[in-house]
Amino acid sequence: IGGKDYEVTLNFVDDDEAQFVVNGQQTRKKKDGDTDKLSDGTTVGVTDVLYQDYAGGIDSATFFV
């Protein structure tokens, strides 16, 4: 984005929240529609959380930077 690379890792997910690590900075836990600002002013948001609480279930989150 604007010549800057972002490394994003899904750090935590449950039935309604997700948390990321972006370029080494941990975000707060966010629900669908929540946003968070990084120390450099970049906004990170969550648009969808998918959590299947059973063996082999899918845990994922859709986000934007």
- Please write the tens of the pLDDT for every residue from 2-58: 899 999 999 999 999 999 999 999 999 999 999 999 998 999 999 999 999 899 898
Q: pTM (2 decimals)?
A: 0.86
| pLDDT 10s digits, 51-60 | 998 998 989 9
List the beta strands (DSSP E) in the chain: 8-13, 18-22, 25-26, 35-37, 43-51, 59-64
Distance, in Å, from the CA atom of 55 to the CA atom of 40, rounded to the nearest integer, reads 38
Q: Give the chain's length.
A: 65
